[in-house]
Structure 1
Amino acid sequence: MTDKTIQDGKTLACVSYIPIFGTLIAYYLNADKKNPFTSFHVRQALGIFLFYLICAISVSNYDSSTLRLWLWGIFGALILYGFFMAFLGKQQTVPVIGPLFQKWFSNIGT
């Protein structure tokens, strides 16, 4: 991937990590351009948010504020990690689950 491609897609890649609305905005604005850097980060952000929703629904069955704080902390760290990788212009997946998101959402941005 060229530096120009990364620079052109960097702003939308960073926007994609704004919870839910940023991901949708970046997805629709990238639909015409199909910038591969932005598409990569949209897939990562979408995966993080969907995984968060699944975990949050599971955790809601338990009345544990400690468990909720851990959930927020873990997903906050994943979002910050993804945002900083986008800001730095790197195509680095989030730890552990990032490669799965790339595989599951491979049709986004192609």
Structure 2
Amino acid sequence: MDSKTIENGRQIAIISYLLTLGLIIAFVMNMDPKNKYAAMHIRQSLGLNILFYAIAFLTGYFTGWMVATPFYVFFIVLWAFGLTNAIQREYTPIPLVGDYFQEWFKSI
């Protein structure tokens, strides 16, 4: 991927990691002139959002912090990895689940 494409999509990629609202804004911003770099990070962010809500739903049944905390730490580490990649202009999927997100959401 060329550096011009990355620079043009960098801002959208960073916005996509800022909560669910940021994901929606980034998706709308990337609709007309599709940027491959931004689209990759939007797919990663969408997958992370879905993963977060799934984990929150599952851990909601447990009242102990010893059960819920590792799940949330896992999510925060993956989110920080994705955001750091967007800031540093990296085109690397998130570990463990990023390749699945790219495959599942390839239409975005």
Give the TM-score normalised by structure 2. 0.96
Instruction: For 2:33 and 2:72, locate their aligned partners in 1 and report how far apart those are by CA, in whole Å.
Output: 33
Aligned partners of 1:65, 1:103: CA distance in 2, in Å?
A: 33
- How well do the aligned residues superpose, as a CA RMSD in angstroms? 0.8
> CA offset at residue 64 of structure 1?
1.4
Identity between Structure 1 and Structure 2 (%): 30
User: In the comparison of the two structures, how many residue pairs are matched?
Assistant: 108
For residue 67 of structure 1, report the CA deviation from its aligned partner.
2.1
Whether 1:34 and 2:34 are equivalent positions in the alignment is yes
DSSP 3-state at the match of 2:94: coil
Unaligned runs of 5+ in 2: none
- Which moved further from structure 2: 70-79 or 13-22? 70-79
- The normalised TM-score by structure 1 is 0.94
Q: Deviations over 1:37-81 (max 9, x none)?
A: 000000000001101111110111111112222222111111110
Runs of at least 4 residues off by over 6 Å: none
Q: Which residue of 1 aligns with 2:8?
A: 8
In the other structure, the counterpart of 2:65 is: 65
Return 5+ residue gaps in structure 1 as ranges.
Answer: none
Structure 2 equivalent of residue 102 of structure 1 = 102
Match for 1:34: what amino acid? K
Residues 2-21 of structure 1: CA deviation (Å, up to 9, x unaligned): 10000000011011011111
Partners of 1:40 and 1:84 lie apart in 2 by: 14
Q: Give the match for residue 84 of structure 1.
A: 84
